[in-house]
Amino acid sequence: MMHEKPILIREDGLRHDGRKPEDLRPIKMRVGVLKNADGSALVEFGKTKVIAAVYGPREAKPRHVALPDRALIRCRYHMAPFSTDDRKSPAPSRREIELSKVIREALEAAVFTELYPRTTIDVFIEVLQADGGTRTTGLTAASLALADAGIPMRDLVAAVAVGKVDGVLVLDIDQLEDEYGEADMPVGIMPNLGEIVLLQLNGVLTPDEFRKALDLAYRGLKEVYRLQKEALYRKYYSGY
C-alpha cells in the first residue's frame, strides 16, 4: 500500500505529535538492566526502545583475531523480529551490517582501547521496538553500557537524529517523519569534547541547512548527555 504523505508540520508550527521543532521525544534511560552482561542499558526515545549489553574486556575468541596493541571491539546492531511494522527476518540485513560498522567506529573513537591489548570488548545492541532513531538510540545505550561495564572512555557518546520535514529542520525525528521527510541526519558526539563520532546524512540539504541542522543536533545532545549522566548517577550513587 502506498499512503498519502501526512502533514508533518501543522499550521500552528508544531509537529504531527505536538512537539516543537527543537523538542526531543520523551526519553527514558536505565542502566544495569541485565544480570549476565558486564554492562547494560535500556534507552527509549518515544516509542523507540533499545537495549545494549557489553561483555568485556575478555579473552578474544577466536584468539587469532586479537590485536597486539589494543582491545578489539566487536559490535552488533540487531533488530528483534517484532521490532518493526512488518516482521523482520532474523538474518542480518545489509542495513544492520552497515549500522554495526558505523556504531562500532563511533565507539572506537570514545573507548580507550589501548588499555586492554589482546582482549575483546563486545557490544550487543538489540532494537526491541523501532520508531525512528534506532541507531542513535542504540549508540546512546551502548555508551551507557560501556560506562556501566567500567570501561574507561574519553567521554560518553550521545546521539540523536535531526531531520528536515515539510521544509523545517526538526530534532529527534520519529519513524513517520523519517519516512515522509526530506532528510534524516543521525549525529553522535562526545558532548564534553564537542567531537563528532557519527555523522550520516540521508537526504538533501543545502550547506547552510546542514550547518543549522548540526546546531540543532548539538543543542538536543546537551539534554541527552544530561539524562545519560543522570541515569548513571541513579545506578551508582543513589542506590536505586
Partner 1 sequence: MSLTPYEFSTVPRLRKLQVINSLRKGARIDGRGFEDYRKITIELGTIPKAAGSALVRIGDTTVLVGVKTEIGEPYRDRPLEGVLQVHAEFVPLASPTFEPGPPDENAIETARVIDRSLREPRAIKLEELTIVPGRKVWIVFNDIYLLDHNGNIVDTSMLATMAALRTARLPRVVSVEGDTVIIDKSTREKPLPVQLSVVIVSVAKINGYLLVDPNIDEESVLDAKLMIGVDEKGRIVGMQKTGQRSFTRSEVDQAIELALKKAGELHTFLNQALAGR
Task: State the nearest-atom distance from the C-beta of 231 to partner 1, in Å.
Answer: 18
Nearer to partner 1, 126 or 172 (CB): 126
Question: Per DSSP, what are the bridge partners of residue 125?
Answer: 52, 77
Binding mask of the shown chain, residues 41 to 60, with x at each position contacting partner 1 by CB under 8 A:
------x-x-xxx-x--x--
Q: Which residue has the cell 541485565?
A: 34
- Residues 29 and 136: their CA atoms lie apart, in Å, by 13
105 touches partner 1 (CB under 8 A):
yes
The three three-digit cell numbers of residue 21, written as one number: 521543532
Task: State the nearest-atom distance from the C-beta of 130 to partner 1, in Å.
Answer: 8
User: Do residues 60 and 122 make contact, with C-beta atoms less than 8 angstroms apart?
Assistant: no
228 touches partner 1 (CB under 8 A):
no
Among the residue ranges 5-13, 16-24, 122-130, 232-240, the one whose residues contact partner 1 (CB under 8 A) = 122-130
User: Do residues 188 and 157 make contact, with C-beta atoms less than 8 angstroms apart?
Assistant: yes
* Of 79, 44, 81, the residue nearest 174 (C-alpha): 44
DSSP 12: T
* Of 50, 53, 109, the residue nearest 84 (C-alpha): 50
Task: State the nearest-atom distance from the C-beta of 201 to partner 1, in Å.
Answer: 4
Nearer to partner 1, 35 or 238 (CB): 35
Nearer to partner 1, 151 or 197 (CB): 197
* 167 phi-psi bin (left φ>0, alpha ψ -120 to 50, beta other): left
- Residues 78 and 90: their CA atoms lie apart, in Å, by 8
4 touches partner 1 (CB under 8 A):
no
Nearer to partner 1, 183 or 231 (CB): 183
Among the residue ranges 13-21, 121-129, 135-143, 219-227, the one whose residues contact partner 1 (CB under 8 A) = 121-129
149-208: which residues touch partner 1 (CB under 8 A)? 183, 185, 190, 193-207
